[in-house]
Copies of this chain bind each other. A is one copy, B any other.
Amino acid sequence: MSTRFDQQMMDLALQQAQKSYDEGGLPIGAVMVEDGAVIATGHNRRVQQGDPTAHGEMDCLRQAGRRADYKGVSLYTTLSPCMMCSGTILQFGIPRVVIGEDVNFPGNMAFLRAHGVEVVLLDDENCKALMGRFIEEHPDIWNEDIAGRTQV
């Protein structure tokens, strides 16, 4: 179940996505929250840093730095997580993921749920609109970001 706080955090993730879009990058943002406090924010940096592993979720984990564990952490992401980010969520034991939308990319929500992660989908219109706009404008960069794989 989502809360009003979840929507506030998604709005923050969307700000990160917009920042990336304004830089010419993929508009996918993320926020890490622990016990109600923002630990880190991040966004996709494939274009900005030439780094194929810098999806929004991965960048956010990087910004958060080293941790012994991820108990009590919620990860917010404007777009449903790809297999790289889903595998990362499982390996680090992130217990809760809140997703802006899964229309522009289905991602791996069932896979995450099957492994015990609490997954909340907000179906956020603003997340959908910004990502949809980028895909229309730069289908080549979007396709590169997921290596052409909408499902694994």
Using CB atoms and an 8 Å cutoff, list the residues of chain A in contact with chain B: 46, 50-54, 58, 61-62, 64-70, 82-88, 90-93, 115, 144, 146-149, 152
A84 and B62 CA atoms in complex are apart in Å by: 13
Contacts of A68 in B (CB 8 A): 144
**How many protomers of this protein does the assembly include?**
2
In the complex, residue of chain B having the shortest beta-carbon distance to the beta carbon of A143 = B68
B93 touches A83 (CB 8 A): no
From B62, B70, B84, B92, give the contact of A91 (CB < 8 A). Answer: B84
Q: Which of B52, B82, B83, B91 contacts A61 (CB 8 A)?
A: B52
Q: Is the CB of B93 within 8 A of A147?
A: yes
B contact residues around A70 at 8 Å (CB): 147
Q: Select one of B61, B62, B144 contacting A66, CB under 8 A.
A: B144
A-B contact pairs, 5 of them (CB 8 A): A46-B66, A50-B65, A66-B144, A91-B152, A93-B149
**Complex: how many Å from CA A54 to CA B58?**
10
Tell whether, in the assembled complex, residue B62 and residue A51 are in contact, meaning their CB atoms are under 8 Å apart: yes
A54 CA to B90 CA in the complex, in Å?
16
Kindly list the 5 A-B residue pairs having the minimum CB-CB distance in the complex, ordered from nearest: A87-B87, A83-B91, A84-B88, A83-B87, A84-B91
* In the bound complex, CA of A51 to CA of B51 (Å): 14
Instruction: Determine whether the beta carbon of A82 is less than 8 Å from that of B93.
Output: no
